[in-house]
Amino acid sequence: MTKKLLCLLQATLVLSVFSLCLVNCGGKDDPDPGPNGGGNTTEIKVTLPSSVDVVKGEDCRVDCENTLQTSDQIYLIQGGTIKVCAVTEAAADHFCFKLPGDFVSGTYELNVKRDDRRVKIGNLIINVVARKIEIQPGTTVYGVVESAEGPIAGVVVSDGVEVTTTDSDGVYQLKSAKETGYVFISVPSGYECQLNGVFPDHYRTLMSASDLPENQSFVLNKVDQSKYKIVFLGDMHVANRQVNNDLSQFGKVASDINTYVKGLQASQKVYGITLGDMTWDLYWYDRNYGPADYHETINTALSGLPIYHTIGNHDNDMRAIGNQKAKNPFAVNIAPPYYSFNIGDVHYIMLDNVDCVTYNGDGSRNHIEGQIYDPQWAWLAKDLAHVDKSTPILVMMHVPVFSTTGVNTFGKNMKDCDKLLAAFDGYQLVHYVTGHTHRSYNIVPENSITGGRNIYEHNLSAICSDWWWSGNLTPGLLQASDGTPCGYGVWDISGKDIKWIYKCAGKDENFQFRTYDLNKVEFSMDDVPNLTNAAMRAQYANIIKAYDGVQRNEVLINAWQKNSRWTCTVKTADGTSLEVKEVSAFDPVQIMAQTMKRFNNDITSAPVGTAQNRHHFYKVVAPDADTDLVITIKDEFGHTWTETMERPKAFDVATYRIDIK
């Protein structure tokens, strides 16, 4: 069943639960007519509940107002398949029927066959369970969390407002008003969810009316998570746009991820986490490509990698009114806007810091970036109440907590930044992992912006880089506006020990920086003869001014993942050490691959992906134009990467091309 069809079915079910009593009479004679077929039988009247639980091997009992007879037959219809069941017991307040041995829990259309007439009664969710649950007063959502080894106690379950835990029998009961429309489990350490493609089965869309109890149970698999890796996937922006061939380019990046992940899985578990903006709200409508299409795309492109998802600003319905309706397509097709889970010794929290409260249906996309809307704050406090203070916390959001303002200098970016920091006070280690900027920067605890807390932020570059433009305009040079090549974060987690690295698509983990011989880098206004707008010509001149003319033997180094703990040393071939400075710069390859080509048009504003002045560069002055250099960069984990730079080093596409296959 496709995701689109599932969405249509879910919409039908939501309507059906409010139409619980259908009366059908009369019609033509037919040996096996469809619903509402003929015959002159007496009135059939059944008032269905939204769901029933059936102990495996027992008859299905439906407590309701009933006029069925034991001579009737029950037709259960799902996806074009009909299961015929015999009525085994019938009374005014209930009826029972026998399920086939291969019956699978799910939502079924229930018809009744009497004599020569088949009558459609309604839709019924039938849950096959190991035991019946005695529902407590006020419970509206309940279920069992279990594995092959038996029930799992202490699992945190929530609807985004209320939070509870499973008891010793793995049973939870939630007094939910069903305001969010879903329920999720905070997957416990040492367990994995069953998968729908790459999507973990950690949440369910609620189907019945707000005051009707419904069973939403979960089956988990017990696994070893003492050591594992996380693959972080930044902004994807798949939208089926021919102008930049996004789906074709994404397919190549996905192939790189598949190959890399498969190699890792030989020795450990691997999980994926997105950082928002998987889709592009504008093209939900302009290209008819939305969350359901993304669901199918990612399931086709990637395999064997459980992926948890974060919502981004472009993953909200721009034509909706208010927060809940804006986020509903994401919640139905991808994941709850906020939730939590555990892997090994680490607790993971997805927050939604894009507030769409002002959405009014006109498509203006006037969201409030960097604002965590209610009821997340109350839910977060309840969730953290179940997490020990010594547990490392990873918090994923789309919009960054902090911003980079210069070389190793930072400012507060989120509107409620201080409130967020305070929410995690007392926890020994917190990592924020964010996207949105399509650039790279990393903040460590000694940077003053953290306020002395043991806090990190990792703002990760985008899978789509510069919205797929550079790779389309200059094949082989797909990279972000700051010069970060297309790639993804890879975290190595062993117990509570956490290390991280960035892997460029088409390269191995040893590719961590690029070098530019600025004697060979030159741009001029002659490169954009078709650019006539005076303001845009001035902007382009500002971008290229550092590379206008001979560069006096300077060498520029772009180390896209650097932070203040990294070191860079440069020596000549004879061992002479040279002074290295940390600087801000416009990446020369991004100017060549994208900016120059897009500015060479009669434009009045800078296109997305234009090269930006960023702060993860080193610069050194060589003795002359021909001296070779040995450049060594070291991160905080002792990883060391070295390039022997043969100079002069050409500046052209062939030198810097990365083929992603």
- Structure tokens given for 13: 């079910």
Q: Please, which pLDDT band fits residue 107 given cuts at 50, 70 and 90?
A: confident
Cβ neighbour number for residue 73 with a 10 Å cutoff: 15
Summarised one tens digit per residue, pLDDT across range 35-70 is 554 443 457 889 888 889 999 899 999 998 899 999
* Least confident range of 209-223, 419-433, 506-520: 209-223
Look at the alpha carbons of 420, 421, 425, 427 in this order and tell me if their dihedral is positive or negative: positive
Q: What is the pLDDT of residue 489?
A: 98
Summarised one tens digit per residue, pLDDT across range 283-316 is 999 999 999 999 999 999 999 999 999 999 999 9
Top CATH class of 3-129 equals mainly beta
Q: What is the pLDDT of residue 310?
A: 98
Q: How far apart are CA 153 and CA 155, in angstroms?
A: 6
Whether the per-residue pLDDT at 4 is higher than 50: the answer is no
Whether the per-residue pLDDT at 541 is higher than 50: the answer is yes
Q: How far apart are CA 417 and CA 421, in angstroms?
A: 6
Whether the per-residue pLDDT at 23 is higher than 80: the answer is no
Q: How far apart are CA 221 and CA 149, in angstroms?
A: 9
- Structure tokens given for 529: 């003869």
Task: Tell which wins on pLDDT, 44 or 138.
Answer: 138
Q: What is the pLDDT of residue 42?
A: 54
Average pLDDT over residues 143-169: 96
Question: Residue 55 is which amino acid?
Answer: V
Q: Please, which pLDDT band fits residue 361 given cuts at 50, 70 and 90?
A: very high
% of the chain with per-residue pLDDT over 70: 93
Mean predicted lDDT score pLDDT of the chain = 92
Question: In the chain, what are the domain boundaries?
Answer: 3-129, 137-222, 224-504, 514-656
Average pLDDT over residues 322-337: 97
* Least confident range of 8-17, 162-171, 345-354, 568-577: 8-17
Average pLDDT over residues 390-407: 97
Q: Which residues contact 389 (CB under 8 A, 6 or more apart)?
A: 426, 427, 428
Q: Please, which pLDDT band fits residue 565 given cuts at 50, 70 and 90?
A: very high
Length of the chain: 661
Q: What is the pLDDT of residue 36?
A: 52
Q: Where are the alpha helices (DSSP H) in 571-644?
A: 588-590, 596-599
Summarised one tens digit per residue, pLDDT across range 199-224 is 999 999 998 888 889 899 999 999 99
Summarised one tens digit per residue, pLDDT across range 436-460 is 999 999 999 999 999 999 999 999 9
Q: Do domains 3-129 and 137-222 have the same CATH topology?
A: yes
CATH architecture of 137-222: Sandwich (2.60)
- The position carrying tokens 């070779």 is 628
Summarised one tens digit per residue, pLDDT across range 222-253 is 999 999 999 999 999 999 999 999 999 999 99
Q: Which residues contact 415 (CB under 8 A, 6 or more apart)?
A: 368, 370, 371
Q: Please, which pLDDT band fits residue 428 given cuts at 50, 70 and 90?
A: very high
Whether the per-residue pLDDT at 5 is higher than 80: the answer is no
Whether the per-residue pLDDT at 626 is higher than 50: the answer is yes
Whether the per-residue pLDDT at 24 is higher than 60: the answer is no
Whether the per-residue pLDDT at 8 is higher than 70: the answer is no
- Structure tokens given for 455: 């806090």
Q: Which residues contact 283 (CB under 8 A, 6 or more apart)?
A: 239, 240, 241, 289
- Structure tokens given for 350: 């997805």
The domain covering 224-504 belongs, at the CATH homologous superfamily level, to Metallo-dependent phosphatases (3.60.21.10)
> ∠407-408-409 over CA atoms, to 5°?
90
Per DSSP, the three-state class of 585 is: strand
- The dihedrals phi and psi of 459, each to the nearest 5 degrees, come to -90, 115
Q: What is the pLDDT of residue 27?
A: 27
Summarised one tens digit per residue, pLDDT across range 119-137 is 999 998 898 887 889 999 9
% of the chain with per-residue pLDDT over 90: 86
* Least confident range of 1-15, 271-285, 346-360: 1-15
Q: What is the pLDDT of residue 22?
A: 29
Q: What is the pLDDT of residue 116?
A: 87
